[in-house]
Amino acid sequence: MSVTSTTIVTPQLIAFEHNFPLQNGQTLPRFDLMVETYGTLNAAKSNAILICHALSGTHHVAGRHSPDDKHAGWWDNMVGSGKPIDTDKFFVVGVNNLGGCAGSTGPRSHNPETGLDYGADFPVVTVRDWVRSQALLADHFGISEWAAVVGGSLGGMQALQWTIDFPRRVRHALVIASSPRLSTQNIAFNDVARQAILTDPDFHGGYYSRHQTKPRRGLRIARMMGHITYLAEHGLGKKFGRQLRGNEYKFNYDVDFEVESYLRYQGDKFADHFDANTYLLMTKALDYFDPAAEHCNNLTAALAHVQAKFFVASFSSDWRFAPSRSHELVKALIAARKDVQYIEVPSHHGHDAFLMEDEPYINAVRAFMVNIKV
């Protein structure tokens, strides 16, 4: 079936009814993953693509959930019939990560051990945990190896971890606007975001749902700040400049500048739907990701057994995950004598560029995907 931006897609919840040990030493008694699939798995099961999401992403990658759904999935420009990740050729799987808040087991879920929602009892999961849960998902579909694992930002970290942890189960990895580990500045911004949430009086130690509330203020501040870091200085300037809402300065703390209005709107929207505990654990997964650490900080050594062919892309104005971070990965892959293609895309959209229409970028992904044999 053809998948377009208006195709109605239906997510499915897949249950894993067994213990799932985590990197932090805790064990989940069971878990669900919310997934969405596009296209058809071929008989050889050789055309499967896994899409890994970033901090606030979900399983809903392409199409719409209902005819009056205002927006298509978060990567609808990339995934669909005739699109770079072509659902006429590939069977594409989107998955909401464990610990997420879009249907997979996470802090909002029922904890069978307490009979209450997990809240703060949900463990801090890692990129490695996610990859292991996604491997169980592959087993569920009978997929022994992915034709490709694809992700941007935190999603790119998952794609990279896949190639390290399951070298025989990934033929290609697309690591976009990502990094082999966070910089000090990245960690610093994440901690400020977490502190905004943790110190919100409505956080209640993470058990806010039991108090029929949520730390909206903290989430809003975290998102506003995050949003600035996802955009480029230049792009923000081009879009808003110093444009005023009214005709003159207000001399109070209402909106003076359009950029303030935009950011507050983004913060409010996010605080309305996202879960604070999920935000916290996602940022921790980002901070902890560091595959080179177990190899004396030698990323080349960490990549020694990788078998996937890599596509790495970065964006010139991305200062959250700067091109230099992708260079580290590319250099290590080359040093480890792996197959890697790299494109640095000129853009003024900052980190968010990986989600946007950009011809050279889209074409580069298309060219890479076209050459994948299924």
Q: How far is the CB of 34 from its own copies (least distance, A)?
A: 24
**Does residue 223 have a known ligand-binding role?**
yes
Question: Shortest Cβ distance from residue 291 to its own copies (Å)?
Answer: 13
Is 85 one of the binding residues for its own copies (CB under 8 A)? no
In whole angstroms, the minimum distance from the beta carbon of 87 to its own copies comes to 37
220 binds its own copies (CB under 8 A): yes
Choice between 187 and 362, CB closer to its own copies: 187
Q: Does 214 bind its own copies (CB under 8 A)?
A: no
Burial class (CB in 10 A: 0-12, 13-18, 19+), 43: exposed
* Range list of H helices, the chain: 127-141, 154-165, 184-198, 216-230, 233-240, 258-273, 276-288, 299-302, 323-335, 359-370
- For its own copies, the binding residue among 45, 65, 204, 239 (CB under 8 A) is 239
Taken in order 159, 161, 167, 168, the sign of the CA dihedral is: negative
Q: Is 72 in the site for its own copies (CB under 8 A)?
A: no
Which listed range, 85-93, 152-160, 260-268, 352-360, lies at the site for its own copies (CB under 8 A)? 260-268
Residues 90 and 39: beta-carbon distance below 8 Å: yes
C-alpha–C-alpha distance, residues 88 and 119, integer Å: 40
Select from 67-75, 140-148, 166-174, 182-190 the region that touches its own copies (CB under 8 A).
182-190
Strand partners for 257: 244
The answer to whether 197 touches 280, Cβ cutoff 8 Å, is yes
Burial class (CB in 10 A: 0-12, 13-18, 19+), 258: middle
Q: Cβ neighbours of residue 94 under 8 Å, at least 6 residues apart? A: 35, 36, 37, 38, 51, 53, 58, 59, 60, 61, 62, 73
Extract the tokens encoding 310: 């890599």
CB closer to its own copies out of 148 and 196: 196
CA distance 129 to 122: 13
The one segment of 40-48, 77-85, 199-207, 302-310 that binds its own copies by CB under 8 A: 199-207
Distance CA 214, CA 208 (A): 5
- Rounded CA-CA distance 313/322 in Å is 11
Between 249 and 373, CB nearer to its own copies: 249
What's the distance, CA 24 to chain centroid? Answer: 21
Q: From the candidates 59, 117, 318, 326, which is the catalytic residue?
A: 318
Report how far residue 302's alpha carbon sits from residue 307's, in angstroms, rounded to the nearest whole number.
12
Query: Which residues within the stretch 91-110 sit at the binding site for its own copies (CB under 8 A)?
Result: none
Based on the shown chain and the rule CB under 8 A, indicate whether residue 187 belongs to the binding site for its own copies: yes
**How far apart, in whole angstroms, are the C-alpha atoms of residue 209 and residue 108?**
8
Interface with its own copies: number of residues (CB under 8 A): 53
Q: How far is the CB of 108 from its own copies (least distance, A)?
A: 18
Is residue 21 a contact point for its own copies (CB under 8 A)? no
Based on the shown chain and the rule CB under 8 A, indicate whether residue 191 belongs to the binding site for its own copies: yes
- Verify whether residue 18 is a known catalytic residue: no
Question: By rule CB under 8 A, what string of x and - marks binding of each residue 279-298 to its own copies?
Answer: -x---x--xx-x--------
153 catalytic? Reply is yes
* 201 contributes a contact to its own copies by CB under 8 A: yes
In the sheet with 12-16, reading across from the earlier edge strand, the strands are: 12-16, 31-38, 91-95, 48-52, 148-152, 172-176, 309-315, 340-345
Nearest distance in Å: CB 350, its own copies: 10
Find out whether 352 is annotated in a ligand binding site: yes
Positions marked active-site: 153, 318, 351
Q: Tell me which residues touch its own copies (CB under 8 A).
A: 23-25, 123-124, 181-185, 187-189, 191-192, 194-196, 198-201, 217, 220-221, 224-225, 228, 231, 233, 236-237, 239-242, 249, 251-253, 256-257, 259-260, 263-264, 267, 280, 284, 287-288, 290, 319
State the binding site. Answer: 223, 352
- Which residues are documented as binding site for substrate? 223, 352
